[in-house]
Amino acid sequence: MAAGLLQPDPSLDALLGRCRFPPPGAELCCGVSGGADSLALLALAVRAGCVVTAVHVDHGLRSGSDTEADVVADAARRLGAGFRAERVEVAPGSNLEARARAARHAVLGSRAALGHTADDQAETVLVNLLRGAALDGLAGMRPGPRHPILALRRADTHALCAALGLDPVHDPSNTDPAFVRNRVRHELLPLMADIGGRDPVPLLARQADVLRTVADHLGDEAAGVDPTDAVALRRAPVPVAVEALRRWLRTTSAEGHPPDAATVERVMAVARGENRATDVGGGWRVARTQRRLRLDAPEGHGGV
């Protein structure tokens, strides 16, 4: 560890006490863009005693983005962490934000730690609400090793960077109103604060915690229902049957997204014997033979 950068500090340890890192000695990959949140993630992961590698992923979407890896490399060196730089190609076009995120996550892997904060959690809940997400979407991100600093605020991460002498990268795309999340951050949340007379971020984060508990319980119940058994679906409580179908039908989405309510209701009609088959999107169909449901893949697809 670089001498002097992470000296004993009660304020740093107080922040660490609100985090959920793996135990000391565990190897941990951290996605680090160079922004304040991810630099704070890096510093806190080192402080937690993890064997940390900072990974910077350059999407090449804006001029000068390649130099941000140098900021991350310098911070990793000063903090005593390893470093790796990766580059991915993301073509311009629709859904750019989602495609860039998917490319970044593919490089980092499903076990990498990400620097999402409570502010990000509040934005995620609202974005998912605007997209018509169901219970699991409104439950937001799950605290834990994947999102270890989810209880912190952006003010905490900026203050920590200032205290450690780390100079974060400022990404101009974070203010671009072309992205829904930015409008939620800069327009919707301030308006909610003005109307409600209080900071909505803690309220939304707590709401996500409550809904996650409900979603987990519903998921446990749905795990006991065979979604291909029409009789079992009809006998199960409707919310449980719906959740079982949502989980099953996720396999038809390349992104793993659950189907919308109208699609699930059409499949329930097939289970009840009101229809013999229905489209579920992307060329997929659900058909019923006697008491069993099956997924018919689009032509040329290998099936599920």
Tens-digit pLDDT profile for residues 124-175: 999 999 988 889 889 999 999 999 999 999 999 999 999 999 999 988 888 8
Report pTM.
Answer: 0.86
The CATH number of 10-117+152-175, from 3.40.50.300, 3.30.470.20, 3.40.50.620, 1.10.357.10, is 3.40.50.620
Looking at residue 3, its pLDDT comes to 40
What is the rounded distance in angstroms from the CA atom of residue 264 to the CA atom of residue 4?
57
Residue 276 has pLDDT above 50, yes or no: yes
Q: Look up residue 66 and give its amino acid.
A: D
Listed in sequence order, the residues at least 6 apart from 44 whose beta carbon sits closer than 8 Å to its beta carbon are: 12, 15, 16, 19, 21, 148, 149, 160
Task: Domain ranges for the chain, please list them.
Answer: 10-117+152-175, 118-140+188-222, 224-296
Residue 81 has pLDDT above 50, yes or no: yes
